[in-house]
Amino acid sequence: MHKGYRIFPLLLLVLASELAAATESGGVTIGGTRLIVDGGKKEASLSVSNSDTGPYLIQSWVEPRNNDPARPPFIITPPLFRLDGNQQNLLRIVNTGGQLPTDRESLYWLNVKAIPTNTAPEDANTLQIAVRTRLKLIYRPKTLKGIPEEVTHKLKWSLTGSRLTVSNPTPFYMNFKRGHGGQSSHYRSHLCRTNELSHVCYPWQGDRPGVMENH
């Protein structure tokens, strides 16, 4: 019989919910790893840059998570455009006013596809690959106060045998990369998102978790 116990106080949590690092696909760089849409505003923006000399076609769209049949209440303008070499443009993500929860965050996927244009001679053999980047689009209602980093102390951690459980009673999404024991070098690199007002279990190897690192 495995005994459950709470994670000891050494646990350090670093969230990635507000990271502003860029995401790069080939010569196209997207100005963030996720996008927070403020419910108090009609739109948010995301930069797309092309560091190559040749042009790309940029196609963007929003889709629901978990194959939800409901249409996301967001549109992107422009949805398709040409981005010339060494140029930058902005994607505008517009909230169309759908009925979204006001007591918690909502998660969607923001897709950006970079399609290289063929500038080679007609008789040249070329291989062109379109690269799609998928980012988290998180809608944060204007009724929510604070930021995820201010409520990390409310997360509840427990370890039973080889199962690490984290309960998230907050209205925010939390993101983790990996964890490791305070006296151990064993890692499980697939720790990921914890939904708002929910809990999730992860496989665990090694000692009691000592550190949670951001993703």
The tens digit of pLDDT for each residue in 161-192 reads: 777 788 888 899 887 765 655 554 343 434 44
**String of b and e for 81-117 (b: at least 16 CB within 10 Å)?**
eebeeeeeeebebebeeeebeeebbbbbebbbbbbbe
Of 177, 110, 169, nearest to 139 by C-alpha is 110
Instruction: Let me know whether 33 and 136 are in one domain.
Output: yes
Instruction: Let me know whether 82 and 113 are in one domain.
Output: yes
Q: Is residue 104 part of a domain?
A: yes
Q: Is residue 193 part of a domain?
A: yes
Model pLDDT, residue 91: 98
Instruction: Let me know whether 161 and 81 are in one domain.
Output: no
Instruction: Let me know whether 55 and 85 are in one domain.
Output: yes
Name, in order, each residue with C-beta under 8 angstroms of 9's C-beta and a sequence gap of 6 or more. Answer: none
Q: How confident is the model at residue 96 (pLDDT cuts 50, 70, 90)?
A: very high
Instruction: Let me know whether 157 and 134 are in one domain.
Output: no
Instruction: Let me know whether 158 and 191 are in one domain.
Output: yes
Instruction: Let me know whether 65 and 112 are in one domain.
Output: yes
* Contact criterion met (CB below 8 Å) for 138 and 147: no
Model pLDDT, residue 85: 95
Q: Structural domain tally of the chain?
A: 2
Task: Tell me which of 13-27, 50-64, 115-129 is least confident.
Answer: 13-27
19 vs 151, residue with greater confidence? 151
2 secondary structure, DSSP code? P
Taking the complete model, does pTM exceed 0.85, yes or no? Answer: no
Average pLDDT over residues 193-215: 57
Q: Is residue 22 part of a domain?
A: no
Q: Is residue 159 part of a domain?
A: yes
Model pLDDT, residue 175: 79
Model pLDDT, residue 164: 76
What domain range includes position 64? 28-119+126-140
